[in-house]
Amino acid sequence: MTRTATRSPKLDQVCADAVELARASITEDAYVGEHLRAVAEGDRLVTHYFDCDLPGYRGWRWAVTVARAPRSKHVTVCETVLLPDPEALLAPGWVPWHERLHPGDLGVGDLLPTPAEDERLVPGYTINGDPAVDDLVWELGLGRPRVLSPDGRADAAQRWYDGEHGPDAPITQAAPRAARCVSCGFYTSLAGSLGTLFGVCTNVYAPDDGQVVSLDHGCGGHSEVLVEEVPVHEEPTVYDDAGVDEL
């Protein structure tokens, strides 16, 4: 196998000498610093690099490419561009809005469009895998444009279970061992398959009031948690009237 060596372009001296032409082609000439180098890009094609003194563009370089025709001494400017060096100060990479969101970011008046290809949802006219929901929708003929998909349901369940309303929450660990939501009178189960593991707390005094909690979540507001009364031993009251003076 024969390999053909790639010839490096030779620096054209006429183009390399056109430093002032390249400098003058930069519109922001007030921020053009010293000439750094000239690099051969091809035959009679040279790029001049200048330091950039523009505030906020530390490490950026002006690049001006010049060229000339064969057997001509007239040099022309091809393009001018501002480029970053490896150590340049760059803006953070663009992140799509749906990847920048965090739980709880949605505020009053905000609109959060759901993508058409959202994996958490499936078309409402298809079976979504939850028997309790599928049977009801089929029997009554009800439906929505999209419903929760099995992936969306599993994702929500895992997020709730691992969060502050699951079994590992600090308030659960500090509660009495028997104080679990599954046996609490304030616990109301969810409908569908999620109800096998989750419900809603309705105890107005509990920190989880109105929140989805797991069966094995718990707190000190459990309906059956009673504070044991400590018996107090009192001595009988004795009245000594032997020393009473009559008035």
The token pair at 53 is 């003194």
Number of domains the chain contains: 2
Q: Give me the phi and psi of 123, to 5 degrees please.
A: -55, 140
Give the structural domain span for 175: 154-214
Choose the final residue of a domain: 84, 103, 129.
84
* Tens digit of each residue's pLDDT (9 = 90 or more) over 76-116: 999 999 999 888 888 888 888 777 878 777 777 766 777 77
User: Is residue 171 over pLDDT 60?
Assistant: yes
In-domain check, residue 227: no
C-alpha to C-alpha distance for 172 and 215, rounded to whole angstroms? 11
C-alpha to C-alpha distance for 149 and 127, rounded to whole angstroms? 9
Q: Which residue has the higher pLDDT, 168 or 54?
A: 168
User: Is residue 1 over pLDDT 60?
Assistant: no
In-domain check, residue 25: yes
* Tens digit of each residue's pLDDT (9 = 90 or more) over 135-147: 666 544 455 677 7
In-domain check, residue 122: no
User: Is residue 126 over pLDDT 90?
Assistant: no
In-domain check, residue 114: no
Rounded to 10 degrees, the C-alpha dihedral 213/214/220/221 comes to 50
Residue 159, Cβ neighbours under 10 Å: how many?
A: 11
C-alpha to C-alpha distance for 42 and 11, rounded to whole angstroms? 8
DSSP letters of 187-206? EEEPSSGGGGTEEEE--TTS
User: Any idea which residue has 């749906």 for tokens?
Assistant: 98
pTM: 0.50
Average pLDDT, the chain: 83
Burial of 72 (0-12, 13-18, 19+ CB in 10 A): exposed
In-domain check, residue 230: no
In-domain check, residue 5: no
Residues facing residue 64 across a β-bridge? 48, 80
Q: Which residues contact 55 (CB under 8 A, 6 or more apart)?
A: none
Residue 85, Cβ neighbours under 10 Å: how many?
A: 14
In-domain check, residue 106: no
Q: What angle do CA 235, 239, 244 make, to 5 degrees?
A: 160
In-domain check, residue 64: yes
Choose the final residue of a domain: 84, 105, 135.
84
Q: How far apart are the first and last CA of the chain?
A: 137
Q: Which residues contact 244 (CB under 8 A, 6 or more apart)?
A: none
DSSP-derived secondary structure letter, 69: -
